[in-house]
Amino acid sequence: MIKILFVCHGNICRSTMAEFIMKDIVTKQDLADKFHIESSATHTDEIWNGQGSPVYPPARAKLREYGIGVPGNELGVNEKRARLTSRTDYDKFDFIIGMDSANIRDLNRLFGGDPENKIYKMLEFADRTGDVADPWYTGNFDDTWRDCSEGCHGLFRSILTDRKYVNYLSDEDDSDFSESEGYSGEGLIHDDFPRG
C-alpha cells in the first residue's frame, strides 16, 4: 500500500480535510485498496485524556458540501478523532505532509530529521509556496478547501506519474512497487473533483 499521513497542529481542520479529500479521490479512481491514508496532529490541543476531538463542525460541513462524509460516501468522517503524530509514524508512512512551515519544523524535530525524504509541505504538490490557510484563525474554510484540494490532486498526480508506483497501481496482483515507464495519467477514471 501507498501510505500517506497528513499533519497539522490539532488534526481537526486542515489535515482531516486533506485526509478525506484524498480518500475521496482514490475511491473515485477505484484505487482505495492501494492506499492507506490518515491524518494526525503535532500538538495535543485537541486530545483530552487520550480521547481526540472529532472533525471540527465547519470542516465537516465543508466536506459535506462536496459530497464527503455523507451517506454513500462517508469514508470514516464520523469516526475520525484527532491523534498525535508519533515517532513510529516515520517508518509507517511513505508521504508525511505538513500543512504549514510550523508543522514541518515540528515533524523534523519529532523524527530527528528526514533521512528518507518523506516530509513534504502540502502546497508543494499544488506548485505553490506558502502554507495551507488555517481556518481556525481565519474562519475561511473555502480557502482551506481550495488549498487542500489542489494539494491532494497534485499529490495524486505525482504518485500516478512516479515510476516507483506505476506498476503497483496498475497490477491486479498487488505486487510490490517496481520501476517502469512513467504513467501518463490517461487511465484516470475521472478527475472532476471540485477544487473549491
Q: Say if residues 152 and 94 touch (Cβ distance below 8 Å).
A: no
Q: Name the CATH superfamily, with its identifier, for domain 2-170.
A: Response regulator (3.40.50.2300)
Burial 88-102 (b: 16+ CB within 10 A, else e): ebbeebbbbbbbbee
- Amino acid (1-letter code) at residue 194: P
Does position 173 have pLDDT exceeding 60, yes or no?
no
What residues does each domain of the chain span?
2-170
3 near 95, Cβ under 8 Å? yes
pLDDT in tens, 101-122: 999 999 999 999 999 999 999 9
pLDDT at 193 (0 to 100):
43
Look at residue 37 in the predicted model and tell me its pLDDT. Answer: 98
Mean pLDDT (the chain, rounded): 88
pLDDT value of residue 136: 86
CA distance linking residue 120 with residue 156, whole number of Å: 14
Mean pLDDT across 161-168: 85
pLDDT bracket for residue 138 (50, 70, 90):
confident
Q: What share of the chain has pLDDT > 90, as a percent?
A: 77
pLDDT value at position 171? 63
Position 186 pLDDT exceeds 80: no
Provide the annotated active-site residues.
8, 14, 134
Please write the tens of the pLDDT for every residue from 41-87: 999 999 998 899 999 999 999 999 999 999 999 999 999 999 999 99
Task: State the pLDDT confidence band at 184, using cuts at 50, 70 and 90.
Answer: very low
The yes-or-no verdict on residue 180 having pLDDT over 80 is no
User: Residue 50's pLDDT is what?
Assistant: 86
137/42: higher pLDDT: 42
- The whole-number pLDDT of residue 59 equals 96
Q: Facing residues of 3 across strands?
A: 36
Mean pLDDT of 157-170: 86
